[in-house]
Amino acid sequence: MITRKIYFLWGKYRYYPSGYSFGQNIADLPSQGFGACAIAHWLSSEIERSVDLVDNWISKLQDLNKSQKSNSFYNGEYWELHVKNQYVFICNDYLDEQKVIMTIEQFLYVLEQYKIFLKKNIRIPKILLPLWM
């Protein structure tokens, strides 16, 4: 398993998930590759800051994992998410390089970690917060 980090960077009024580390120029190629960026952008655009949506995705993926359903497809605002044969494939509709494939278990772990972060409800900037994948 490849280990990458999703960082939570302070925006104007809140933290947001990013595949770029603090101070890294977004015009440069991400040092971790585009997979962490794709997951971070999917979290921020499709789930945003909703714990209920995270719970909804966790239950959907757990049901798919148990049922061994062969193929599922979800289309969001900018993203497509495919689940097939115990793998999750996320791709951006507009940026070809933002694609990632991972197991359902890995994706569930990311969602659980994001849920933990959202429940902390941090409102003021403190430090750079990594989410391990």
Q: Where are the domains of the chain?
A: 5-67+105-132
DSSP string, 13-61: SSEEEESSPTT--TTSPPTT-HHHHHHHHHIIIIITT-HHHHHHHHHHH
Q: What is the pLDDT of residue 54?
A: 92
Q: What is the pLDDT of residue 59?
A: 92
Of 132, 107, 110, 114, which Cα lies nearest the Cα of 49? Answer: 114
Which residues partner with 114 through β-bridges? none
- pLDDT means per 10 residues, the chain with 133 residues, are 72 74 68 81 86 92 76 82 89 86 91 87 59 52
Given strand 79-84, what is the order of strands in its sheet?
71-75, 79-84, 87-92, 99-103
12 half-sphere exposure, CB direction, 13 A CA radius: 0
Q: What is the pLDDT of residue 46?
A: 86
What φ, ψ does residue 38 adopt, rounded to 5°?
Answer: -60, -45
Q: What is the pLDDT of residue 128?
A: 54
pTM of the model: 0.77
> How far apart are alpha carbons 39 and 35 in whole angstroms?
6
